Amino acid sequence: MDFLAAYDAVPETDAPRRIGLLRRATATDRAGLFRELRAARPVFPTPLGVFVTRHPDVLEVLSAPETFTAGVFGPVLEEVLGAPFILARDGADVHWRERGYGQLVLAPEDAPRVRALTASLADAALDAAVAGAAERGSATFDLIQDYACLAAARVAVEYLGFTGIPEETLHTDSRLMQWAFAANQGRDPDVHAAGTAAGKEMHDLVAALIARRRAESGRPDGTDGTGRTDGPDDVLGRMLRTRLPDEFGFDDERINANLVGYLTGYQQNATQCAATALKELALRPEVLAEAERAAADPDPARFDAYVWEALRFHPFVPATPRLCVREHVLAAGTPRQTRIPAGTPVVAWMYSAMFDEDVIEAPAEFRTGRPPSHNLVLGYGAHECVGKYAASVIVPELVRRVLLRPGVRPPAGAEQAMDYAGTPYPQHYAVAAGPDSGER
Ligand code: HEM
């Protein structure tokens, strides 16, 4: 592929055609495009912003929030949520303070119980999906609609604390919100309106839930004489029990914005990661066989590495935009040193960084055991995923439960057959319903 020759042949003044070429290349031959850019134009000014493609440069952008802010999508995200949120802000108050708060309530020590919870909810969803296929007389079921999004939403109910909110609403609203703030570069007003309406619906449902929880709770030990306790031991329960100094102004509306923000950061990501990781494993039969063996290991750590390496090839967030708010010399002292003026949008291509030949050994090979800094699936730096401890068990466990079922696999030859149904996210992925279903 010679992307740059075709791109350079389009006059600089014809931005729409250049954007069309970029969009087509990122959709149809992402690996080839970024191989070429890393070699020839590693810091590449485009009408969509400056594409940053090399591993050290992506890390440089993502670790300098005072220079490269979330200002490209931040305002849209806050319109969707109807409130400030850490992923939309940089600096002391909302971002760093509430990031610390996020780490407190999304505690690393929850990981073992979140894994066990995911395993049992995933198994139940798989049982129902397989039984549903049998009832329909079908050899397949839809891994995304019949399994991953349901299991992920049930984890959101049980672990994050969205008690009583229908899983369909959790999944649909979070998809509309994500789409509006993260995948609506063309600023389609209908997509934006649907995202803000979904954000408002979720806010109102969570406000009612918080009011209910407050009304139901008594002293933690029930010594107020009512016999009531402080309610479920989930993330929302932990938020409602956490008291920050009054001067922080952290009221129930802030709890609401954070909880809905967590859902937005989690639900689509977990669902899609489960599907794309399975696809990347299924595309490599020898790797799939190794992963199946690792799935049966009582210590899941060996298996998890297969999932994170699979996601390197198809991350849910391949790139994240930032706004350069003060002039900056990127990659200073290297041949690719580039001055970036204030006001320039910059796109940190984490996908490309994870294939940087100068940093990642044999990047095209599927290898577990790579250094953690070579995997940017959960982001990096100031906005690195604050839910990463939960994510790091939920996503692999959703995949592991599938691989523990013989025959529940994408049919041979249809590993890539994900249907996006006109949305930015895969919506349907047919998998064989068991060993007698004519699968691989
Ligand atoms: C399930 C798989 C997940 C994936 C693939 C994922 C991915 C990411 C990525 C790539 C970022 C960085 C975004 C950027 O720099 O622009 C991020 C940030 C974030 N994620 Fe996750 N995430 C996942 C799960 C979760 C979970 C379980 C939660 C919370 C329950 C969560 C909440 C957040 C939040 C709040 C941020 C923003 C952090 C900040 O701005 O400081 N994510 N996530």
Closest atom of ligand 1 to 258 CA is 35
Question: How far is residue 262's CA from residue 156's CA, in Å, rounded to a whole number?
Answer: 9
**In this predicted model, what pLDDT tens digit does every residue of 149-173 receive, in sequence order?**
999 999 999 999 999 999 999 999 9
Closest atom of ligand 1 to 70 CA is 16
Q: Give phi and psi for 4, each to the nearest 5.
A: -65, -35
Given phi > 0 = left and psi -120 to 50 = alpha, else beta, which region is 328?
beta
pLDDT (mean) for 376-404: 98
| 399 CB near ligand 1 (under 6 Å) | no
For residue 412, how far is its CA from the centre of ligand 1 (angstroms)? 33
pLDDT (mean) for 277-295: 97
Query: pTM score, two decimals?
Result: 0.94
Alpha-carbon 425 to chain mean position: 11
| 99 CB near ligand 1 (under 6 Å) | yes
Closest atom of ligand 1 to 89 CA is 40
pLDDT (mean) for 181-210: 96
For residue 438, how far is its CA from the centre of ligand 1 (angstroms)? 38
Closest atom of ligand 1 to 376 CA is 10
225: pLDDT confidence band, cut at 50, 70 and 90? low
pLDDT above 60 for 223: no
pLDDT value, residue 232: 84
227: pLDDT confidence band, cut at 50, 70 and 90? low
| 87 CB near ligand 1 (under 6 Å) | yes
Give the DSSP H/E element, type plus range, for residue 294: helix 285-295
**Length of the chain counted residue by residue:** 440
Question: How far is residue 34's CA from residue 12's CA, in Å, rounded to a whole number?
Answer: 20
pLDDT value, residue 182: 94
Whether 160 and 131 have beta carbons less than 8 Å apart is answered as no
Domains of the chain from N-terminus onward:
42-432 (1.10.630.10)
The single-letter DSSP state of residue 410 is P
> Looking at ligand 1, which residue's alpha carbon is closest to its atom 41?
383
Whether 232 and 218 have beta carbons less than 8 Å apart is answered as no
In 3D space, the residue among 343, 307, 298, 386 whose CA is nearest the CA of residue 87 turns out to be 386
> Looking at ligand 1, which residue's alpha carbon is closest to its atom 20?
385
> Looking at ligand 1, which residue's alpha carbon is closest to its atom 16?
320
| 330 CB near ligand 1 (under 6 Å) | no
Closest atom of ligand 1 to 86 CA is 40
Q: Which residues contact 135 (CB under 8 A, 6 or more apart)?
A: none
Contacts 24+ apart (CB under 8 A), 163-171: 163/209, 163/213, 163/232, 163/234, 163/236, 164/209, 164/212, 165/205, 165/206, 165/209, 169/201, 169/202, 169/205, 170/263, 170/267, 171/267, 171/271
Q: Give phi and psi for 348, each to the nearest 5.
A: -85, 105
pLDDT above 80 for 73: yes
Whether 250 and 244 have beta carbons less than 8 Å apart is answered as yes
| 386 CB near ligand 1 (under 6 Å) | yes
The single-letter DSSP state of residue 184 is -
For residue 224, the one-letter residue type is D
Alpha-carbon 133 to chain mean position: 29
pLDDT above 60 for 220: no
440: pLDDT confidence band, cut at 50, 70 and 90? very low
Residues 335, 69, 172: CA angle, nearest 5 degrees: 120
pLDDT (mean) for 335-364: 98
Closest atom of ligand 1 to 384 CA is 12
The residues facing 178 across adjacent strands are none
Residue with tokens 């070699």, as numbered in its chain:
39
Whether 167 and 157 have beta carbons less than 8 Å apart is answered as yes
C-alpha distance from residue 198 to each of 166, 173, 174, 257 (Å)? 14, 5, 7, 13
Q: At what angle do helices 252-282 and 388-403 cross, to 10 degrees?
A: 40
Average pLDDT of the chain, as a whole number: 94
**In this predicted model, what pLDDT tens digit does every residue of 287-318 receive, in sequence order?**
999 999 999 998 899 999 999 999 999 999 99
pLDDT above 50 for 236: yes
